[in-house]
Every structure is written in C-alpha cells, then in structure tokens.
A and B are shown apart, each in its own frame.
Chain A
Amino acid sequence: MLPQETRDWARQLLANEAADETSVTTGPAFLRVYEKLRRSLCAFAGIAGFRALATRALTLAKAEAPSLRALQVTADGDLQGLSEIEPQTEMHNGEDGEVSLIAHLLGLLITFIGESLTLRLVQDAWPEAGRENCNSGDGATA
C-alpha cells in the first residue's frame, strides 16, 4: 500500500508544475511531470530501466484508477493513449489516476533506492525549481 506521504508528494509535484508559468514544455502538468521524471531517470537508469519502472507503476496505478486502462508505456518510456484517459476521474479514495501513476513511480523508486536518493533524483529533474519545490510529501528535504 502506497503511503499517503508519497501520494501527497506526487500531488505537490503536479500542482507545482501546473503553477509554473515559466515552463517551456507545453501540455498538461501531468505529462510535463512525467516527462521530466522520464528524462532524469533515463539518464540515470537507461531507457530500459525507466521503462521497466514506468510499466510497473502504470500497472499499479491502473488497479486503483480504471480510467488509466488505455494508457501504455512505449519502448522509449513515453506514455501512449493519453487522449483516452478521463482527467480528474475520482477513484475510490478520492485520488485521480494521474496522481496515482506519479505516486507509484516515486513509490517504486523509494522502495528500491530509498527516500533520500529518490528525493535527490527528483530534485535533479527540476533543477530550476530549487529544492524547496521538490520536497517529499512529509516536507523532508535533502
């Protein structure tokens, strides 16, 4: 079971990205967050390494949010089928699928390499944002 703190962290990343008016990347905040994580993690773990993590995270998220069922992870780690998901569809716990996917991706990283290193990798994905904007859900910073 994913801790609430990890979900809060994912929600915060999405909120920060949505509020970022300086972002050069277009598209919805969810996609921008995912893309930043993908770039950062691919550099570190390789495309295959990221794809494996993302596929597992998506599987876990689909179990919570059926609205994600059309979503697929492509060979290079991109998301396919975005147009078919229903944004803000409520899950049983009031969470939406986008938060769930990002949270599970973070959760897997925490499981494998621990919170401290995960936090640092996430910070690396938002170098321009400063560390305070990348805090984990419980407010911890590196």
Chain B
Amino acid sequence: MSTQDKVTINKLPTGVPGLDEIVGGGLPEFSFNIIAGAPGSGKTTLAHQFVFANASPERPALYFTVLGESAIKMLRYQQQYTFFDPAKLPDSIRFINLSQIVLEKDLGAVLAEIIKEVEKTTPAVVVVDSFRTMVRKSQNGPTEMDLQSFIQQLALFLASWQATTFLIGEYAEDELRDNPIFTVADGLFWLRQSTERNSVVRKLQIVKLRGQASVTGLHTFRITDHGLQAFSRTFGLSGHKKKEPGSKRLSIGIPELDKMMGGGIPEGDSVLVTGASGTGKSVLATQFIAEGIRQGEAGIVAVFEERPQAYTDRAGSFGLDLVTPQHDGKLLILYLRPLDLSVDETMNEILDAVKKIGAKRLVIDSLAGFEMALSPGFREDFRESLYRMIFALTGIGVTILSTVEVDESFTEFPFSTYSISFLTDDIIRLRYISIEGQLRKILVIIKMRGGSHSQDVREYEITSDGLVIENERLRGYERLISGIPERVGRFSEKDKLPLKSKTKSKT
C-alpha cells in the first residue's frame, strides 16, 4: 500500500510534557486506551492532563467516575495542579458518577448509561475511572469475562462515536501478562511506583500502542505541581539526525594542552578529565567553559558537589568571569543535587538548557557527584545511562567535558573508577608525583579517538591564572606515571627540576 493510500491517524497531545515524544508524536485519535497501575501511581492525573489538553465546548470530554475516589475529593485535589482549568467545567469537561448504577445494576446498565451520555454529548474524549472496581464490587458480581465483554462492546461503541478513550484500572505488576482485557485496548499505559531505599522512583511503559511506533522501555516520570512530566529514554531526540563530526577543534583555554591535543578537543567529542582530589580537574573544566564563552560559544556547567555561586566565585579567583556570561545568557550553571534523580530527568534539564542558550560546550562536574544525585536504583544503571546521555548530547554537536575523581595509587594508573573509558573519545589524566621531596602534578593525554596526540608527560601547576603547563616535557625520569619517578642516567644540575615555591591548593 502506498503512503498516500494509507489513512492518516491524527495525533492528539497528551498534555504530559515528554509523553508525546514517547508515544510517537501524540496519542492516536479514536484510540481505546487503558491506563493501568497501582493506587497512587498517577493514573487519574495522567487522564486529567489528557482531558484538559483536548476537551473543548464543541468536542467535550466525559469523565465517568465509578466507585473509586469520590468525585468531590478528586476535583479538590486535581484542581491543585496548574493544568487544571476550572473554566473548562462543565461545558468542556463533564463529570458523571456511575457508582449507583454499578452498585444496584449490572455492567449492561453501566454500558447503557455510558452510551446514553455519549450519544447526548458526542464527546471527543471519554474516561472511565476506574473500570476495575466494577468487577471487584462483590464476590457474586461480574467476572473478568463479563468485564472483557463489557470493554469489547464499549470499545466498539466509542470508536464508532469517534471518541478517544481512557479506561483506568488498578492492576498489580504480575497481572500484566496474559490478561485478555488488555488485548482489546489499542494502547496500554503502565505506571509503576517503587521505593528504593529512601527514594521513590516512578516509571511508565507503553506496553502497546497500535498504529504508530512508540519509544520502548521504561521511562521515568515525576509528579509535580504541574502534573506528570515524563522523561523519554531517548531524551526526546529520537528522529533527530545525528550531527556529522566536523574537523573543528575547540580550544580548552590552556595553549599547551591544545597543542598536546593536536589543536584542541574535536568538536562533538566526549572528554574525560580524571585525577585525584586537588589535581585541578574543575579548574581545567572551568577554563574550557570560559574559553568557549570567550569565543562566542555558549556553555553549560552541571554541578553536583558545590553550589553555582561557589563555582562562580572559584572561577573568579582564577581570573575567569562566569558572572557576566550568566547575565548575558551565554552560560547556565545547573545545580542538580536531589538524591532521587534519574539520568533521564537530569538529561532533560541539560537538554532544555542546551536548547535555551544554544550551548556548544557542556561540563559535568563531576560524574561522582552525578552518580550520588541519582536514586539508588538508577546508580546500578549508571554506565548504561551515561552511555545514552553522552551519545544523545554529542549527537547534537555538544562537546562534553566530564570530570571524575580517581583514588590515587602509586602502583596503578586508573583512568576512572567507573570503567567508562570506552564511553569517552578523549581522556586527560592528571596525577600527583613525588619529585625532589615535593608533591608535584603531571598531565598526560591517554587517548584521543579522533587522531594523534602528544605522548609527553607534562608537569603543570595551578596558578592564579588557572592550570598552566610547563613548556617542556619532563626529562631525566622514568616511571613518571607511577607517581614515584626515578632518575635515569647522568643528571646535570641544569636538568634538575626547579623547586616549586607555592601552588594554589583548592582546585
């Protein structure tokens, strides 16, 4: 069948930020959907958001309530959300209570009442909240088979009347499989809520959606004053064309380091700066951002371990002005520290910021802080999440510089505690060494995926101008990266490294 012969299925906005992207652009018009999940998982709120986003006086919404939450209490609580527009009641959204019919009669009577109201109103949206309670009302009441028949007839009728429908039901996790009721539905939205240590994590899954491709997998969501907000696993970037890597190099703002990297960081790369505490990772990252701003490239710094003001102040102590670019909309410092974040949620914030200021550079300072900000359950998936995040961001042309702290060892030379080196294009390793009775610092480029780089081991200092690399590579020593180098060969006085007098300690 050619494309022009196919029927066009209109897509309706879900009213839930992030969910349209997950369902493939919007909810198929006239679809018959089930929202399932445990009590408190956000089913009713999701339905309300859809209703408020789509109902109009010409094509209103009918919201049938059945035996569950009292309609008055439901409105009392739902009106607290910002999406709730009282002006839509009762002309655009009409609430109808079916409790008495359910209690006194059978499912046939319930169906008849729904049909009567639908024929009278010709609604665009119909919600039944909650259909599951109709089965549970008594031991001798209708069975799951009766409910399946009821739902089948309801689905047929509502589709014919051109209504997009949501049925809401309380279902436990293990009821998902092999439930014939779900076969009737065009769309099945499953909402989950779990407690992991002290954090509550909410996830939604589009178990099925006929007629269009949705983003598979579990997507985290949050319920705030604005209702549900969903965070797609693909970060809202599915369908975006991956930006082809260019030949442009981005200066780090440290001339010697740029030279070591063959002219700077290849645009769109992910760079890992790794080293022990105090080696200058954050200073290097700040110089990278400041240099970008100096060259007209907006930047974002995601900080997890200190507040934006402290970060800005510290940059100022190195002569780097991060205040003005923040006022000018060239720099955003995101402070992300709740302990129940998901990577998807963090990414959403970062992506919003990238879009807002057109950022080309991103600093994540640090990955350890990032991991700590996540809910415990998400920490288990940190590597996988990081992979998705880096892939998504570099795919739209953002150059990422992440810092990570490693335990300094004098027997090993670890690049990262996360085994994430494979996720990064370039790795810059900072470390302490002991020379001449002093604790000094060296820097080495471990890898650059985009080409050749300097093999030199270079000494550097943290000065009032930031991270400054010595002009020459260290000579006359071997085992430098062990941290305890040894002199080799004859060593003249002029080869001796000069003793350092002072160094800036807080990095």
Choose the segment among B28-36, B65-73, B126-134 that binds chain A (4+ C-beta atoms closer than 8 Å). Answer: B65-73
Interface centre among A49, A53, A114, A142 (most CB of B within 10 A): A49
**Is B95 on the interface with A (CB-CB < 8 A)?**
yes
- Distance between Cα atoms of A112 and B80 in the complex (Å): 12
Instruction: List, in ascending order, chain A residues with CB within 8 A of B499's CB.
Output: none
- Distance between Cα atoms of A91 and B79 in the complex (Å): 36
Specify which of A44, A109, A123, A142 is in contact with B96 (CB 8 Å cutoff). Answer: A44
- Distance between Cα atoms of A49 and B87 in the complex (Å): 23
**Is B86 on the interface with A (CB-CB < 8 A)?**
yes
A44 contacts B97, CB within 8 Å? Answer: yes
**Is B89 on the interface with A (CB-CB < 8 A)?**
yes
- Distance between Cα atoms of A47 and B72 in the complex (Å): 12
**Is A63 on the interface with B (CB-CB < 8 A)?**
no
**Is A87 on the interface with B (CB-CB < 8 A)?**
no
B97 contacts A43, CB within 8 Å? Answer: yes
For B95-111 the 0/1 string (1 means CB < 8 A from A) is: 11111100000000000
- Distance between Cα atoms of A44 and B74 in the complex (Å): 11
Instruction: List, in ascending order, chain A residues with CB within 8 A of B72's CB.
Output: 45, 49, 53, 109, 112-113
A113 contacts B76, CB within 8 Å? Answer: yes
Closest Cβ neighbor of A113 among chain B residues: B75
- Distance between Cα atoms of A43 and B75 in the complex (Å): 14
Instruction: List, in ascending order, chain A residues with CB within 8 A of B95's CB.
Output: 44
A49 contacts B90, CB within 8 Å? Answer: no
**Given A49-B70, A116-B86, A117-B89: A42 in contact with B76 (beta carbons within 8 A):** no
Specify which of B75, B87, B98 is in contact with A142 (CB 8 Å cutoff). Answer: B87
**Given A112-B76, A114-B79, A117-B79: A46 in contact with B87 (beta carbons within 8 A):** no
Instruction: List, in ascending order, chain B residues with CB within 8 A of A123's CB.
Output: 90
Closest Cβ neighbor of B97 among chain A residues: A46
Instruction: List, in ascending order, chain A residues with CB within 8 A of B96's CB.
Output: 43-44
**Is A82 on the interface with B (CB-CB < 8 A)?**
no
- Distance between Cα atoms of A42 and B75 in the complex (Å): 15
**Given A114-B79, A117-B79: A49 in contact with B89 (beta carbons within 8 A):** no
Instruction: List, in ascending order, chain A residues with CB within 8 A of B76's CB.
Output: 112-114
B89 contacts A42, CB within 8 Å? Answer: no
- Distance between Cα atoms of A45 and B69 in the complex (Å): 10
B65 contacts A46, CB within 8 Å? Answer: yes
B100 contacts A44, CB within 8 Å? Answer: no
- Distance between Cα atoms of A124 and B90 in the complex (Å): 7
For A112-137 the 0/1 string (1 means CB < 8 A from B) is: 11101100110110000000000000
Instruction: List, in ascending order, chain B residues with CB within 8 A of A49's CB.
Output: 70-72, 97, 99
Instruction: List, in ascending order, chain B residues with CB within 8 A of A109's CB.
Output: 72
Closest Cβ neighbor of B73 among chain A residues: A112
**Given A44-B95, A45-B71, A46-B65: A120 in contact with B90 (beta carbons within 8 A):** yes
- Distance between Cα atoms of A113 and B70 in the complex (Å): 12
A45 contacts B90, CB within 8 Å? Answer: no
- Distance between Cα atoms of A47 and B86 in the complex (Å): 23
- Distance between Cα atoms of A96 and B100 in the complex (Å): 33
**Is A15 on the interface with B (CB-CB < 8 A)?**
no
Instruction: List, in ascending order, chain B residues with CB within 8 A of A47's CB.
Output: 99-100
For B346-377 the 0/1 string (1 means CB < 8 A from A) is: 00000000000000000000000000000000
Instruction: List, in ascending order, chain B residues with CB within 8 A of A2's CB.
Output: none
A48 contacts B79, CB within 8 Å? Answer: no
Instruction: List, in ascending order, chain A residues with CB within 8 A of B99's CB.
Output: 46-49
B71 contacts A44, CB within 8 Å? Answer: yes
Q: How far is the CB of B80 from chain A (nearest CB, A)?
A: 10
Interface residues of A in 28-56 (CB under 8 A from B): 42-49, 53
Instruction: List, in ascending order, chain B residues with CB within 8 A of A116's CB.
Output: 86
- Distance between Cα atoms of A117 and B86 in the complex (Å): 6
- Distance between Cα atoms of A109 and B89 in the complex (Å): 15
Q: How far is the CB of B336 from chain A (nearest CB, A)?
A: 35
Q: How far is the CB of B115 from chain A (nearest CB, A)?
A: 16
Interface centre among A44, A49, A114, A120 (most CB of B within 10 A): A44
Specify which of B65, B73, B86 is in contact with A120 (CB 8 Å cutoff). Answer: B86
Specify which of A46, A113, A114, A117 is in contact with B100 (CB 8 Å cutoff). Answer: A46
Instruction: List, in ascending order, chain B residues with CB within 8 A of A142's CB.
Output: 86-87
Interface residues of A in 54-81 (CB under 8 A from B): none
A120 contacts B97, CB within 8 Å? Answer: no
Closest Cβ neighbor of A119 among chain B residues: B86
Closest Cβ neighbor of B102 among chain A residues: A46
Interface centre among A42, A46, A109, A121 (most CB of B within 10 A): A46
Instruction: List, in ascending order, chain A residues with CB within 8 A of B65's CB.
Output: 46
**Given A113-B79, A117-B75: A45 in contact with B70 (beta carbons within 8 A):** yes
Besides A46-B71, A49-B70, A114-B86, 12 other A-B contacts (C-beta < 8 A): A42-B97, A44-B71, A44-B97, A46-B65, A46-B99, A47-B99, A53-B72, A112-B76, A113-B75, A114-B76, A117-B75, A120-B89
User: Residues of A with Cβ closer than 8 Å to B?
Assistant: 42-49, 53, 109, 112-114, 116-117, 120-121, 123-124, 142
Rank and list the top 6 A-B pairs by shortest CB-CB distance, nearest first.
Answer: A46-B97, A46-B99, A116-B86, A45-B71, A124-B90, A47-B100
Q: What are 17 residue pairs bridging A and B, where the CB atoms are less than 8 Å apart in the complex? A: A44-B96, A45-B97, A46-B71, A46-B97, A47-B99, A47-B100, A49-B71, A49-B99, A53-B72, A109-B72, A112-B72, A112-B73, A112-B76, A113-B72, A114-B76, A117-B75, A142-B87
